[in-house]
Amino acid sequence: MAIRVGIVGGTGYTGVELLRLLARHPEVELKAITSRGDAGKPVADMFPSLRGHVGLAFSDPAQAGLDECDAVFFATPNGIAMQQVPALLDAGVKVIDLAADFRLKDATDWGKWYGMSHACPHLLEQAVYGLPEVNREQIRTARLVANPGCYPTAVQLGFIPLIEAGVVDLGGLIADAKSGVSGAGRKAEVHTLFAEASDNFKAYGVGGHRHLPEIRQGLSAVASRDVGLTFVPHLTPLIRGIHATLYARLNAECADLQSLYEQRYANERFVDVLPSGSHPETRSVRASNMCRIAVHRPQGGDTVVVLSVIDNLVKGAAGQAVQNLNLMFGFDESCGLELVPVLP
């Protein structure tokens, strides 16, 4: 019997990606997709790509019957989920939040980075960080999953084998990451206008990006100690895709970095370690839940360079959320996610 699933905030890019994936999921029945501003409007009118696949109309959250669902996804701006999650958990609903409301464990730290007080700090410790390649067993029994951010997914998957092996200096990790404009969401803003973002390339958030504490928290958990991380994001004139170029200095001899990565991810369906000398491209993962990684040691020196690419809307958001749903309900982890990347 299929599980009943609701989506809060179905009008953004992550919302439509969830709809695309869940509409074909054999174990899911879509029950509700909410939007206050577009309540009553057929989903296919807003997203013609879903015509014939999603027959629902958007509903007002108050009338959506979310408490009757088995699982609810929040594809909403930061600060929304934390207002509604406690009541859903009390009703026995499992929740996956694609925003940042439950990613950080420290409520004070969360307030510092997101500019508001947390509405339910008592749930921060209970929430499981939804990176399956690290927290798979905890996700299986979770009631509340904090789906990782897009940059944090690409960066953490790239660094984890080095940190677990204890072969790099944890005080000087560097993540240089680039994202397509869909990472900024569907809202209209000047910096994502075609005339502003096209034929252009720029860094932003150098002084401190909201994903920095999330990445640092995750890597510190893997290392069992604090790590020093410099994270610089960039905006590229792409629609989809993240490319993270990661740098670390070796503090111990590692005979075969390639084997280290291949062995770490040998049983991970959605992490592909490319052959030695490869350079992964964002288009090689477009519209898929795959992370492709290549590891380099330029000139045989003491600096490791890791290249990590994902689709920010799939493995960086909706696809990973469905991966977490599968774990939470005992489905095959790849159910609904066997997606061949789109090329060109």
Number of other CB atoms surrounding residue 38 within 10 Å: 18
User: What is the arithmetic mean of pLDDT over 29-34?
Assistant: 96
DSSP string, 175-244: EEEEE-GGGG-SS--GGGSHHHHTT--EE--TT--THHHHHHHHHHHHHTS---EEEEEEE-S-SS-EEE
Pick the CATH number of 3-126 from 3.40.50.460, 3.40.920.10, 3.40.50.720, 3.40.190.10: 3.40.50.720
Residue 55 has pLDDT above 90, yes or no: yes
At residue 15 the predicted structure's pLDDT band, cuts being 50, 70 and 90, is very high
- Are 81 and 97 contacting, i.e. CB atoms less than 8 angstroms apart? yes
Average pLDDT, the chain: 96
pLDDT at 187 over 90: no
Helices (H), 77-210: 81-90, 107-114, 132-140, 150-165, 194-197
- Average pLDDT of span 141-149: 98
* The pair of three-digit structure tokens given for residue 245, joined into one six-digit string: 């170029």
Name residue 169's amino acid.
D
CA dist 247 to 144, 196, 215, 244, Å?
33, 30, 15, 10
Q: Are 339 and 288 in contact (CB under 8 A)?
A: yes
Mean pLDDT of 143-152: 98
Per-residue DSSP letter, 59? B
| Single pTM value for the model | 0.97
The one catalytic residue in 69, 150, 254, 291 is 150
Q: Which of these, 312, 309, 303, lies nearest to 162 by C-alpha position?
A: 303
pLDDT at residue 50 above 90? Answer: yes
DSSP 105: S
pLDDT at 1: 83
Q: What is the amino acid identity at position 77?
A: P
| Domain regions of the chain by residue span | 3-126, 151-312
- pLDDT per residue as tens digits for the range 206-215: 999 999 999 9
The counts of H helices and E strands in the chain are 10, 13
116-127: average pLDDT: 97
Distance of CA 318 to the CA centre of its chain: 7
Among the residue ranges 15-29, 130-144, 185-199, the one predicted with the least confidence is 185-199
Phi and psi at 301, nearest 5°, equal: -80, -160
CATH classification (class only), 151-312: alpha beta
The predicted model gives 292-307 an average pLDDT of: 97
Residue 291 falls in the annotated catalytic set: no
Read off the pLDDT band of 188 (50, 70, 90): confident
pLDDT at 252: 83
Q: At residue 218, what is the residue type?
A: G
Distance CA 179, CA 282 (A): 10
Instruction: Report the pLDDT value the prediction gives residue 173, as an integer from 0 to 100.
Output: 98
